[in-house]
Structures are given as structure tokens and as C-alpha cells.
């Protein structure tokens, strides 16, 4: 049951990572189209700026669970390399629980903002005036999946897979016994 949950959440995070990639590609195409229309055709642009900003921002939020799945978030792991497995497990669990708490708070705040935009029919104050609930929906979606992914990470740390995950990064460990003059990257 636990492995099924972890696998399902991981697959949804991967799908959201693909969606984030697609949204970034669309944002890039929007910028290219805007440049072409504005500077080559010398025409006004109406929807492109909003679209690019909302697409790129949505990509950040919906892509965050995939980044967590791949351990791509910025972190300082120097201390992890100085401690044993039990302490490393405690540090990772503490980090996951703090991340889960933060994401839960942001999920509630993002939901409130999304709901207000939906109920009050907010639109962008531009000529295009898209309904704001659409881009605002990326915040609760992204943070809801981040919560689920953090919980999956907590469960993973409590399983056999978690024991293998406690190994320090091989890239850093490979240089742990070398002196600076022996090829350690500077």
C-alpha cells in the first residue's frame, strides 16, 4: 500500500514536471511571437505578456513536486556528510516535515486566493483580461502535490528504499578522502 502510494504520487509529479516543461515551452514561444509582432510587424501586442508571465509562473508551481522527487531543490548538505546514518535520517525527516508544514500553509493561502478569484470573477487589469482563477489555480495545485510528494518522501525514508537514500551523494563522497592537490574540484 505504501509503495503504491509512493509510486502513484511520483508518477503524478512526473506528469506535472512534463506539464511544467510544456508551459515553459509555450511561454518561450509566446515571447518569440511577441517579439515578432512588436518589432517586425510593428503591431501592438495584447495577450502575450500576460500569457508568458502566467505560463512561466504556473510552470514553477506545478513543476515543484517533480523537482522535489528528483531531489533538485537547493539545499546545503555539508552537515549530512559529517554525520552518521541515524542523524542523517533525522535531518532528512525534519526537513521533510518542515517542508510539509510550509507547503500546507501555502496550500491554504493559495486556495483562498484562487477561491476569491473564482467567486468574485477577478480578471487581469489588461486589455486581454483573462480570468485570474486560471493562473491562480497553479498555486494550490502545485502546493497540494508538494504536500503529497513530501509525505511520499517521509514514507520512503521509513522503508527499505530510504536506507539506500541515506547514502551521501556519490559525487561529493568520491572526493571525501582526497587532498585538494589530488583532484578535488575547487
pLDDT in tens, 108-136: 999 999 999 999 999 999 999 999 999 99
Query: What is the total count of domains within the chain?
Result: 1
Q: How far apart are CA 159 and CA 93, in angstroms?
A: 13
pTM comes to 0.82
First to last CA, the chain: 45
3-state helix, strand, coil in the chain (%, to 5): 75, 0, 25
pLDDT at 172: 46
pLDDT tens digits along 17-50: 999 999 999 999 999 999 999 999 999 999 999 9
And the C-alpha cell for 102? 510550509
Residue 8 belongs to some domain of the structure: yes
Q: Decide if 184 is inside a domain.
A: no
pLDDT at 170 exceeding the cut of 70: no
The answer as to whether 133 is a domain residue is yes
Query: Could you tell me if residue 183 is inside a domain?
Result: no
Nearest to 62 by CA among 10, 140, 170, 148: 140
| Rounded-to-10 torsion of CA 144, 141, 23, 40 | -130
Q: Work out the number of other CB atoms within 10 angstroms of the CB of residue 102.
A: 14
126 part of a folded domain: yes
Domain that holds residue 116: 2-168
Q: Are 106 and 143 in contact (CB under 8 A)?
A: yes
Amino acid at each position: 500500500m505504501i509503495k503504491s502510494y509512493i509510486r502513484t504520487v511520483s508518477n503524478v509529479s512526473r506528469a506535472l514536471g512534463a506539464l511544467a516543461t510544456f508551459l515553459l515551452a509555450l511561454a518561450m514561444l509566446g515571447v518569440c511571437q511577441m517579439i515578432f509582432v512588436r518589432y517586425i510587424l510593428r503591431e501592438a501586442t495584447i495577450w502575450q505578456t500576460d500569457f508568458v508571465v502566467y505560463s512561466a509562473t504556473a510552470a514553477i508551481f506545478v513543476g515543484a513536486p517533480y523537482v522535489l522527487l528528483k531531489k533538485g531543490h537547493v539545499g546545503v548538505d555539508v552537515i549530512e556528510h559529517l554525520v552518521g546514518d541515524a542523524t542523517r535520517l533525522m535531518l532528512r525527516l525534519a526537513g521533510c516535515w518542515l517542508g510539509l508544514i510550509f507547503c500546507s500553509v501555502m496550500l491554504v493561502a493559495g486556495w483562498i486566493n484562487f477561491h476569491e478569484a473564482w467567486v468574485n470573477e477577478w480578471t487581469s487589469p489588461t486589455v486581454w483580461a483573462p480570468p485570474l482563477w486560471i493562473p491562480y489555480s497553479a498555486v494550490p495545485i502545485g502546493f497540494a502535490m508538494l504536500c503529497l510528494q513530501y509525505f511520499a518522501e517521509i514514507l520512503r525514508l521509513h522503508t527499505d528504499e530510504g536506507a539506500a537514500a541515506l547514502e551521501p551523494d556519490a559525487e561529493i563522497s568520491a572526493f571525501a578522502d582526497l587532498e585538494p592537490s589530488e583532484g578535488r574540484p575547487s
